[in-house]
Amino acid sequence: MNSTPPTSPFTEVHDGVFPSIDRNSKNFVYHQPQKRNAGAAYSHLVSPVEEPATKFNEAFRTEYPIKECGTLSETYLKNDLNMLFANPRFYSVDNLASMFHLCRTVSPLEYLNEFLMGILLAPQMDFLSNPDYTLPSSRPIGQGSYSYVYTISSTTTSTLNNDLSLVLKFAKSQHKSKVILQEALTLAYLQYVSPSTSDSHIIPFYGLTYINKSHFRRLRSNECVPGLILPKCRMNLYNFNSTVSHELSLIGKREIWWKLLKEMLDALKTLKINGIIHGDIKTANILITETPSVNEGHFDNFDFYLADFTSAFHTSQLPTDLNTTVEYCAPELIDNSTDHIPTFKTDLYAVGLCLLSFISQHEPYNELQSLVSHGSSPGTGSSSIQRSQWLINVLLKKDPINLNILRSNLFQDWKLELAVLSKILVERLPLEELLALLEQDYI
């Protein structure tokens, strides 16, 4: 369920100093994030959580002849950016020039040709000029409202099934290209100002390319759409909670919970330092590089990545519209007291709900809704409007812990973790204060 809050002025970036959490903490079992590894098994999923289409065989045809067109991607990108800047949703030319600290004397044309082309395009993996790169699968491994996600293969690699451990997240149609370009600009900016984004637990961005009907048959013959090259991850947190978590012991789950907290706070810290608000953090947008081992241990075979920046924006420019997921909204985003725009505090609140979902193994308020409807699936016997109003009323009670932790044993098993979540979800500590508290009281 999505909502589109009205636009309003932003909260300014906080100038506070971020403390670091001791890697030797007895509660924060820190593991150095793995470096980018093209040979690792990944699987990128995008939100909202939707079941992939079951029949996509007719969407692919690899026998189309592909002409040499080395400059086509640049041409398409230049045209798309011109259209994007003519009616900017999140980013304008002036806004981006300020973000990237470009000289004010640089003309828009020079800016587009010389700078954006260099940081966005991935010439080493240009689908339009190199027929070796394909999307061989008949099914997407993820999809959202604006995009599909497919595994990338190359006929020149020696890996199993020609798998490059990369995926392409591309626009469903040319009409939806703007959203993909905006996400590319956000990820390119984060990569530019913080090159080790993987160490910050933000999804690494390997560049932008374009595909056409020769790569994906469902595109129209005259369409050429942009796609983001991203690492392939095993699953998202939503899948983990529903399919893997029950196999682990309480000790193992608690250790993973603290790892999730540490790595998501790393991601939020990077975003806040660089003025980026994610705007749609939820379990479907937190990716896991590998399936955590069911054997007890240090669980150092995987990392978490914050992904799907389609709703993200920089605090220096007001977006003209914004989509977010109602279940993960902080109360101020839906009440009548504030400007109804995501902030750094609402991003932290959404992370808190993800951590709460990890404990309950249910999406926010889903278990309560099932109990209210006497065990039937959410929404049975009620209209969409009624369900939405029920959810809004529950959110405005401002009691997320008690309304999501409905089994008494969880309060005892997760006493320490719920105390931390109370700081996030009830006391609403800012990120800097939360990090300082964790460093002081939980090490």
pLDDT single digits (tens) 166-201:
999 999 999 999 999 999 999 999 999 987 766 899
Q: 3-state class of 225 per DSSP? A: strand
Among 44, 83, 32, residue whose Cα is nearest residue 199 = 32
CATH number of the domain residue 7 falls in: 1.10.510.10
Q: Which residues of the chain have pLDDT under 70?
A: 1-71, 104-113, 157-163, 197-198, 294-299, 320-322, 338, 374-382, 443
- Is 280 annotated as catalytic? yes
Which amino acid makes up residue 19? P
Q: Indicate whether 182 and 253 sit together in one domain.
A: no
Helical packing angle, 250-273 and 344-360, nearest 10°: 170
51 occurs within a structural domain: no
43 occurs within a structural domain: no
- CA dist., res. 338 & res. 277, Å (int): 17
pLDDT single digits (tens) 304-322:
999 999 999 999 887 766 6
Q: Indicate whether 249 and 203 sit together in one domain.
A: no
Does 55 carry a binding-site annotation? Answer: no
- Domain extent, residue 96, equals 57-231
Q: Indicate whether 188 and 251 sit together in one domain.
A: no
Per-residue model confidence (pLDDT) at position 411:
97
| Residues forming beta bridges with residue 3, ordered by sequence position | 324
CATH number of the domain residue 222 falls in: 3.30.200.20
**Residue burial 13-28, b: 16+ Cβ < 10 Å; e: rest:** beeeebbebeeeeebb
**Which residue of the set 126, 163, 280, 308 is catalytic?**
280
Which amino acid makes up residue 37? N
41 occurs within a structural domain: no
